[in-house]
């Protein structure tokens, strides 16, 4: 099994390459996609799946570019207001095989309505998840912001509670792989750049 974290230079964005049995998946790819193709080829893996945890506001997704290069299918959560035209919609409980690995979809709304987490199971140890890609639902020592829907503040503020319970139910043995690490995130608001700092 291969699992490699890939940090985007100058951003706190984290993406992942996971592979087994000649197949590979990329989680939340950045726009310059050659790094995933090169690393997969070096390991003798073919990228067959691209998983997005949510519609990001602080980076441009590389999923459509990587799909064009590799022919991999892009998978994204339900987003009726702003459909993701380059992706197939997946739902809670959907499962995908990557060699001896199984990636299971968890719907985890709160940070965004379309937010997903992906639990990773190894068929050699099928009882419990070995890891979970949490996107922006859960970081190391923090949770994702919930202020993207100001007209639904109360409702949205309560959603992460149920979403985090799903993630925590995977057990203490599941390693958390968030979509962001420590550092700064640059966001354009009202025509001005603002920098948001994340805790280490």
Nearest of 37, 3, 39 to residue 20 by alpha carbon: 3
CB 179 within 8 A of CB 137: no
CA separation for the pair 19, 45 (Å, rounded): 7
CATH architecture of the domain covering 2-198: 4-Layer Sandwich (3.60)
Grouped pLDDT means (10 residues each) for the chain, 200 residues: 89 91 96 95 98 76 95 91 87 97 94 88 91 86 71 80 91 91 49 44
Q: What is the pTM of this model?
A: 0.85
Tokens (6 digits) for 118: 């992906």
Taking the domains of the chain in order of start, what are their residue ranges?
Answer: 2-198
Nearest of 112, 118, 95 to residue 167 by alpha carbon: 118
């Amino acid at each position: 099994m291969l699992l490699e974290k890939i940090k985007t230079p100058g951003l706190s964005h984290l993406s992942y390459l996971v592979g087994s049995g000649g197949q590979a998946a990329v989680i939340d790819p950045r726009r310059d996609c050659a790094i995933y193709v090169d690393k997969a080829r070096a390991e003798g893996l073919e990228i067959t799946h691209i998983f997005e945890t949510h519609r990001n506001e602080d980076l441009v997704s590389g999923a459509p570019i990587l799909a064009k290069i590799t022919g991999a299918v892009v998978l994204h959560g339900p987003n009726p207001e702003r459909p993701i035209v380059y992706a197939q919609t997946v739902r809670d409980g959907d499962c995908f095989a990557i060699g001896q690995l199984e990636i299971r979809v968890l719907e985890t709304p709160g940070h965004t309505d379309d937010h997903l987490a992906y639990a990773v199971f190894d068929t050699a140890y099928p009882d419990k998840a070995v890891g979970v890609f949490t996107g922006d639902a859960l970081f190391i020592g923090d949770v994702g912001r919930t202020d993207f829907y100001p007209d639904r503040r109360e409702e949205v503020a309560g959603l992460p509670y149920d979403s985090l319970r799903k993630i925590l139910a995977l057990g203490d043995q599941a390693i958390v792989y968030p979509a962001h690490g420590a550092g700064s995130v640059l966001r354009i608001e009202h025509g001005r750049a603002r920098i948001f700092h994340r805790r280490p």
